[in-house]
Structures are given as structure tokens and as C-alpha cells.
Amino acid sequence: MIVKLVLLSVIAYLIGSIPSGLWIGKIFYKKDIRNFGSGNLGATNSFRVLGVKAGSVVTVIDILKGTIATLLPFFFLPELNPHFMLLTGVCAIIGHSFPIFAGFRGGKAVATSAGVVLAYAPLLFIAVLIVFLITLKISKYVSLSSMVAALAAFLITLFLGDPILFVLITCIAIFIIWRHRANIKRIKNGEEPKITWM
């Protein structure tokens, strides 16, 4: 059981490490998105540098990375402890943020974290997605919407009665806000780019 779980965790990390924004940018647009915009490999910078179509594809792939990694124990461990799913999900988040396939320089973990939540707690995913979209519609800031959604997930999990999920969501929320510290500064200075497609 332990050996299988370790193996699945490694696989989850490798899945999370797939730098979808980097590969799509290089293959289809001949651009290394690390050299443009924020220099980030995540979905937001993909939207900014490559456009809505590419950004949407990157977002879906990054969400699926978290979802697939989280579901690995469900399919491959005969005696499933649901919290094993959170372990492999965390490994995917780490992979996305520090990808072995891109020099350990990755994204901010928002979409991949959402994918983990989608696999483990679909209703929580829907609630947080609604908060994200409402905030995005009002503010036009993807970064702000991501942080507000992370805080919403933290508040909601207070009432779900799953302490392991609560600890994980708390850590993810802190991590996401920390990864957005430059965005927070730009928002304060009125320098953060706003979306124009919503």
C-alpha cells in the first residue's frame, strides 16, 4: 500500500509538472511565455500572452492535471482512504508550481488546485468557481479573483467537517496569496492588467 501510494504520488507530481502553457506557446505560437507578460507559466499569463483560445486550453489542461492526479488513488488503491486523494492532489500542485520539466519554475497553482477540489469535493468546486467568476466580472482582475476564490474556499471548508481538507485548503489559500504578492502590489499601484474579454 505504502509503495503504491509513493509511486502514485511521484506520478501525480509528474502530471502536475506538465507545463501546458510553455508547450502550447512554443509549439503553436513560437513563444516562450516565460519571456512575456508576468513570465509565469500559468493560465493567466497564457491568456495575456497567447490569447483567449490558448489561455482557455491551458486552463482546462491545468485543471485536469489536478483532477487526474487526485483520482489516481481512487483507481489504483484497493483499500482507498479518501484522504490519499488529497495527498496525490498536493503532489500535482507542487509539480505545477515547481515543474521538473520547466526548470522548477511554474505557475501559481490556482487552476491545478481547482482541479484537486473538483475531484475531491465537486460542490465546493462549483461554489468557489461562482465566487471566482463573479469577482472577475466585477473587478476584471484574474489575480484578485483567484485570491478571493481561495479565501472563499477557506471559509466554506470551515463548515464541511473535514479537518484534513480544511488544513489543505488553508495551506493552498496561503500559498496562492503568497504567489500573488507581486500582483497585490500592482493592484495597489493601479498597474495590474485587467481582462477585456469579460
Q: Is a pLDDT exceeding 90 seen at residue 177? A: yes
- Give the Cα separation of 18 and 20 in Å (integer): 6
Dihedral of alpha carbons 181, 187, 193, 194, sign:
positive
Burial label, 129 (beta-carbon count in 10 A; 0-12, 13-18, 19+):
middle
- Give the Cα separation of 17 and 95 in Å (integer): 4
pLDDT value at residue 40? 85
The pTM (predicted TM-score) of the whole model is 0.94
CB 118 within 8 A of CB 66: yes
Q: How far apart are the first and last CA of the chain?
A: 47
Q: How confident is the model at residue 169 (pLDDT cuts 50, 70, 90)?
A: very high
Closest CA to 58 of 107, 102, 105, 14: 107
Q: Could you read off the pLDDT of 99-118 as tens digits, one per residue?
A: 999 999 999 999 999 999 99
* Residue entry with cell 495590474: 192
